[in-house]
Amino acid sequence: MRYLFSLIFLFSMGFSGLQAQTDSVLFKNENLLIGEIKSMDRGILVIETPYSNVDFKIDWKEIKRISSSVNYLITLSDGRRFNGSFRSVSDSSVLINSYIPDNILKIGSKAKNIEEVGASGVEVPIGSIVYLNALDEGFWSRLSLFFDAGVNFTKANDLRQFTFNSGVGYLADRWKTNLNFNNLRSTQSKTDPIKRTELAYSFNYFLPKDWFVLYNLNMLSNTEQLLDLRASNMVGIGKYLIHTNQTYLGFQGGVNLNNEKFSTDPSSSQTAESFLAAQYNIYDIGDLDLLSTVTAYPSLSTKGRVRSDIKFDIRYEFKFDLYFKISTSINYDNKPTEGASKTDYIFQTTIGWKL
């Protein structure tokens, strides 16, 4: 009898746990997974289940049908954004029960019920959904965070190099913001120390059809180009031309106001530039993630001056959100200050963690 009651207890606990998990995912091979859908980004769905200590990560292309009654921030490949729940109505389409958000910054963990705010249904192809994030999780579910570091030592010339990168971001219903920090320190016998520090803040407000307006504030200090500080204020507009679960390609352009202070000149100078940038990201290649960014700055105040920045990252992801990254960054100025180099570049290999 004691064993019978034990079995009944275990069964009831397992059944109540499944009842609490209202989300379902049906694979193309007809396997069914019940749990709590947390997010989907870059073609990978994250779902939590009561019978596993770690979240499952599922390729979005392998999903046949999906359903959830929880409210999500939903982004489509054509740039449309919705707040609401969703469920499959066929093997190829999903019905989104959307509502209009009324909070600029969601701090709490409760979202209004769809029926309370006036729902409307939108049917879309399942392959057009490129982003999901559970709104009921509150502020922390919208936060992103990463940091990585690398150290190099060489006995022959007594080289010691330290690299540290970090970043934090927040994604709201209609805007996103990011703050990134990059620091490099290098010492070598019989040469001057190399120092490079960069702080970058960005704010994007999303418009229809995958357009967005932007404001970027970049601060760069670089001993190779004798740059004590360059503060850049960039205002412009951008658009994602390609935005899928495999890749995205975006362009942006606008004006940039610089305040530059060089170590060879006690005074600072103000310059105006236009800018044109392109960013290409590929992430449907297993655990690899490739990101490249090219930005050109034709000067509006100094005739013939052109600057450019090129960045390229390769990231390989391990378990537990750990990753290994190889990155390079090139800064070019065809009219640098006297005594400075036209080109500066860094090459980094780091190990990091992301949230």
- Rounded-to-integer distance, Cα 63 and Cα 23, Å: 13
Query: What is the domain partition of the chain in residue ranges?
Result: 24-137, 142-354
- Rounded-to-integer distance, Cα 331 and Cα 164, Å: 18
- Rounded-to-integer distance, Cα 256 and Cα 216, Å: 9
Architecture of the domain made up of 142-354:
Beta Barrel (2.40)
* DSSP code at position 225: T
pLDDT tens for the chain, residues 1 to 355: 444 433 333 333 344 444 455 799 999 999 999 999 988 988 899 998 887 777 888 999 999 999 998 888 899 998 888 888 999 999 999 999 987 654 444 444 444 433 333 446 889 999 999 999 887 656 777 888 999 999 877 665 677 889 999 999 998 888 999 999 999 998 887 777 888 999 999 999 999 888 999 999 999 998 888 889 999 999 999 999 998 988 999 999 999 999 999 888 878 889 999 999 999 999 878 788 999 999 999 999 999 999 999 999 999 988 888 999 999 999 999 988 888 888 888 888 999 999 8
Which pLDDT belongs to residue 135?
75
Contact present, 47 and 33 (Cβ < 8 Å): yes
Which pLDDT belongs to residue 100?
61
Q: Give the residue among 185, 152, 150 at the shortest CA–CA distance from 166.
A: 150
- Rounded-to-integer distance, Cα 198 and Cα 330, Å: 13
Which pLDDT belongs to residue 173?
80
